[in-house]
Amino acid sequence: MGRFERYLSLWVALGIAAGVGLGLLVPGAFHFIAGLELTHVNLVVAVFIWVMIYPMMIQIDWHAVKDVGRKPRGLILTLVVNWLIKPFTMAVLGVLFFQYLFAPWVDPQSASEYIAGMILLGVAPCTAMVFVWSQLVKGDANYTLVQVSVNDLIMVFAFAPIAAFLLGVTDITVPWETLVLSTVLYVVLPLIAGMATRHALERRSPRAVGDFVGRLKPWSIVGLIATVVVLFGFQAGTIIAQPLVIAMIAVPLIVQSYGIFAVALIGARLLKLPFDVAGPACLIGTSNFFELAVAVAISLFGLESGAALATVVGVLVEVPVMLSLVAILNRGRHWFDYPGRPRPAGR
């Protein structure tokens, strides 16, 4: 790991500070950038995320992708955590904090909207940023692609019913344009570009892929920091105007993230998954598809609602929390050294 990557947490912290500062100094610039969106997908953020995940896509070997089905336990863990545990624990935590612990400081209407926003985050597992977190723990790129793809497929059928059940409403309309465009921008297009690049590099020399990805890695981190600056710049006014509300919403979201991570980590150990599969499996369940959650919150409750605010706080909390989980995993690689068993086996 290079010096730049080693101090990634510092750069992200500086990016957060820069985003908030710039958002307050030049709000018009961020309003303009925020307006550059299509079906609730911000195109500037999409470009930065594309820069982040492109190196990961080059590392995907399609011959290895075919073998993932023979090693399904990591995929099963991801699906159980994302669809049978995470949405329901998020709902429980939302109710616990806003109907009980924080009830003296929040009116009932706002509390119900905050809970709704958190539920929407809990029902939307991450698509794009997973590739970044997987790369930072040196996860299996092929396995990560399959995990994300299967999650996206299930989301098409499961998002609306689970969200409707937990929210107690029956008229949830999934913003298909947001879901499809996000999948195309964050998975399909960079995957095609990565495949084409890998094919061209492999024809040049056996080492060309590794060398090229190594040169791109700093740009991937630059894309992450730029995304942080933009996201915090969008919400600078809200952060300064409502710091207590932001903090209260952040608490159950942070508890949820570390709790789900712990559940996935224990599951990975019980299943004896190797680190390069266990790492991404633990991280997928803790991050969220924020574009989808924000879009649904706005369509159901309105742009100025507490639900929309809660989904935005989810965006703000995610990057710092996920970086801390990446650090935990990288320091705990030895947890996945199983006695009497070679490390590559057992996926």
- Whether the pLDDT of residue 347 is over 60: the answer is no
Q: Which of 82-86, 193-197, 253-257, 278-282 has the lowest mean pLDDT?
A: 193-197
128 or 258, which is more confident? 258
Considering only residues 262 and 342, tell me which one the structure prediction assigns the higher pLDDT. 262
Q: Where are the beta strands (DSSP E) in the chain?
A: 37-38, 41-42
Closest CA to 85 of 265, 250, 249: 265
User: Percent of the chain, pLDDT > 90?
Assistant: 30
SS3 content of the chain, % helix, strand, coil (to 5): 80, 0, 20
pLDDT of 257: 95
List, for residues 65-114, the tens digit of each pLDDT value.
666 667 789 899 999 999 999 999 999 999 999 999 999 999 988 899 89
Over 90: is that where the pLDDT of 261 sits?
A: yes
Among 40-49, 104-113, 325-334, the minimum mean pLDDT is found in 40-49
Query: Cα separation of 96 and 87, whole Å?
Result: 14
Give me the architecture of the 3-336 domain, per CATH.
Up-down Bundle (1.20)
What backbone phi and psi angles, to 5 degrees, belong to 127?
-110, -60
- Taking only the tens place, the pLDDT of each residue in 138-186 is 898 888 888 888 888 788 788 888 888 888 764 556 667 777 787 787 7
Q: What is the pLDDT of residue 83?
A: 94
- Report helix, strand or coil for 38: strand
pLDDT at 170: 47
pLDDT bin (cut points 50, 70, 90) of residue 345 is very low
Question: Is pLDDT at 344 greater than 50 in this prediction?
Answer: no
Residues in the chain: 347
Q: Which residues of 203-223 are buried (b: 16+ CB within 10 A; e: fewer)?
A: eeeeeebeebbeeebeebbeb
DSSP letter (8 states) at residue 42: E
Most confident of 96-100, 317-321, 342-346: 96-100
Instruction: State yes or no: pLDDT of 118 exceeds 90.
Output: yes
What is the spatial distance between Cα 105 and Cα 301, in angstroms, rounded to a whole number? 21
CA distance 259 to 63: 35
Tokens of 116: 């709704």
Give the pLDDT band (50/70/90) at residue 45: confident
Q: What tens digit of pLDDT does each residue of 225-244 get?
A: 888 898 888 888 888 888 99
Q: Which range, of 2-16, 112-126, 257-271, 328-342, averages the lowest pLDDT?
A: 2-16
Cβ atoms within 10 Å, residue 72: 12
Predicted confidence (pLDDT) at residue 62 exceeds the cutoff of 90: no
pLDDT tens column, 199-210: 899 888 878 888
Query: Between these two residues, 5 and 26, which has the higher pLDDT value?
Result: 26
